[in-house]
Amino acid sequence: MPVMETTVYQFEELSDEAKERAREWYREGEAEDFSADEFILDAAKTAARLIGIEFAERSYQTSRGKTYTEPDISWSLAYCQGDGASFAGTHTFTRGAAGAVRAEFPSDMPLHTIVDGLQALQAHYKLSGAGPGNLEGKVTDDQRGNFVIDAIVTDSETGDETDDSEITKTFRELMRDFADWIYEGLRAEYESRQEDEYVDENIIANEYEFDEDGNRI
């Protein structure tokens, strides 16, 4: 039986053309693994907690039968017209949220606008005498990948749904803005992981080996 010998190359030893082929291989794997990375939603979970949003959870089962839970956040990064994000969960008025968000995300103006809007909505509700408690909201999506958000708003003390359509509309828009903020963060992270510098560093750190043409061995 003939034995074939193949010369093995480290990434730095490849030609420019072969390096680009190696990068393409890595990027394909990065795209497949991106949604499974437990760290990509850390900023969203932190911001949500500070704002007063608690994500609903959904369960999924692996091919080996293990069951896991994750925040109920849906998104698409296919770079097409239907891209976006949505989530399901609840919002509870959180005193001091504006200051906490600014301390954690000092330069994130879109997020500041969202939390300020929620605080203003609460103040309006209290000043209007519409109810004795604080505003609470429930957020849902359509579960069909359309990234459409719906919401209902209730009084925390009475449990009654507000009959002020403007309050509900404003709350829904703010939750939509937060979903868009999540999407923009995910897109920025994804794009940073596609850049040559990131790709090269990870290929080298993992000591992947290639043939002369840049094909993974």
Break the chain into its structural domains and give their ranges: 40-189
One digit per residue, the tens of pLDDT, for the chain of length 217 reads 676 678 899 999 999 999 999 999 999 888 877 876 778 899 999 999 999 999 999 877 665 667 778 899 998 886 666 789 999 999 999 999 999 999 999 999 999 999 999 999 999 888 776 667 899 999 998 766 678 899 999 999 889 998 889 999 999 999 999 999 999 999 999 999 999 999 999 999 999 999 999 999 9
> Angle at the Cα of 216 (from 211 to 217), degrees rounded to 5?
70
For residue 118, the number of C-alpha atoms closer than 13 Å in the C-beta half-sphere is 31
pTM of the model: 0.84
Largest CA distance in the chain: 88
Torsion of CA 205, 189, 105, 150, to 10 degrees: -150
Q: Tell me which long-range contacts 201-209 makes (C-beta under 8 A, separation of at least 24).
A: 202/26, 203/11, 203/22, 203/23, 203/26, 204/10, 204/11, 204/12, 207/10, 208/11, 208/22, 208/26, 209/8, 209/9, 209/10
Q: Is 147 left (phi over 0), alpha (psi -120 to 50) or beta?
A: left
